[in-house]
Amino acid sequence: MPRILYEKIVCEAIKETSKKLFGRVPKITKTGETKSPIAVESFNVILGIVGDITGQIIFNFKGESPRKIVSKLLNREIFDEEELQISGIAEFANILSGNAITELFEETQGKIDITPPSIIMGNHVVLSTVIHDISEFVLEYEEIGEIVMYIAIKEKEEKN
Amino acid sequence: MNVEYINPFTQATFDVLTMFGTFDPKLGKPFVKDDALISVGVVVVVGIIGEVKGQVAYSFSEETAKMIASTMMMGMPVDTFDEMAKSAVSELSNMISGNASTAIAAKGFVIDIAPPTLITGENMRLATNVKKSLVVPVSTTAGNIDIWVSLE
């Protein structure tokens, strides 16, 4: 299956999940192709992809978006509660990946799975992936802000 | 955390590092951490999926990473931690994780690993939704490596 179809499935899963969680669908725009390494801001989630395709989906949460997402999920305003933001964003990523798995499972007869999220925080963070060709998408959420999504996937090479 | 998932990682670390002949790895006493990994410069994260799920993270300083990369590249001097050096260090992490997952699979568990992601940055922390991680400190001639196993 072409990479673009996997990307489309992931984007559709994100839209559906967002609609259920926030009542709104984000505007998702593919902003282009980039190469590893990627320089990102502080709050990032990495999901590993395993199966017929392998690689990573990386979410880079811009500005206040982690706090706003967790506030929406908890239905109350949170401020400097970092631990709560970490666990909330991990849960958000779990829900997104869970729905993406379901969609990918149906399309591939269960030959793709997604690892639990790793959350990376820090300054001047640079991520290097083994797969050098990376698709970049911007997810624009009303009242939340922007999340940049990087998809670095390739079809698994068969071992002889 | 089930020791059946931990021992393969410590054994694979020892075996792979020993294979290169120059690292002289010495495994320290493992300990449990219930908070985020605080990086000392470089972290390589490998996602795990199957009957056991989570992450394994390899944490070391940039100096150690450069020495590992140099050994991986047949002794070629590594002055800057560039993409080629990062690729070599990622490959080492991939080899250890691959060997460990093969050993776990041999015990009858379904397990697979995602490709590694190498991360650098300042004041960097790595958190997962696994509450407790087992950390295995390893001292080598290239410097110290901490292996964080966060599986459930």
Asked if the model's pLDDT at residue A75 lies above 80, the reply is yes
Residues B12-52 have pLDDT tens digits of 999 999 999 899 999 999 999 888 889 899 999 999 999 88
* B93 in contact with chain A, both atoms CB, cutoff 8 A: no
Going by C-beta distance under 8 Å and a sequence separation of 6 or more, which residues neighbour residue A13? A96, A99, A100, A102, A103, A104
Given an 8 Å threshold on Cβ–Cβ distance, is A50 in contact with B112? yes
Is ipTM beyond 0.95? no
Residues B48-58 have pLDDT tens digits of 999 889 999 99
Q: Give the model's pLDDT for residue B1.
A: 64
Which A residues in the span 61-80 are in contact with B, Cβ-Cβ below 8 Å? none
* B116 in contact with chain A, both atoms CB, cutoff 8 A: yes
Q: Looking at residues B56-63, what average pLDDT do you find? A: 96
Residues A114-131 have pLDDT tens digits of 899 999 999 999 999 999
Q: Looking at residues A58-72, what average pLDDT do you find? A: 92
Residues A16-32 have pLDDT tens digits of 999 998 888 999 999 99
Given an 8 Å threshold on Cβ–Cβ distance, is B47 in contact with A47? yes
Higher-pLDDT residue of B129, A7: A7
Select from A47, A121, A131 the Cβ nearest to the Cβ of B124. Answer: A121
Name the percent of chain B lying above pLDDT 70: 99
Given an 8 Å threshold on Cβ–Cβ distance, is B115 in contact with A91? no
Closest chain B C-alpha to A11 CA, distance in angstroms: 20
User: A160 falls in which pLDDT band (50, 70, 90)?
Assistant: very low
Q: What is the DSSP string of B36-83?
A: PEEPSSEEEEEEEEESS-EEEEEEE-HHHHHHHHHHHTTT----S--H
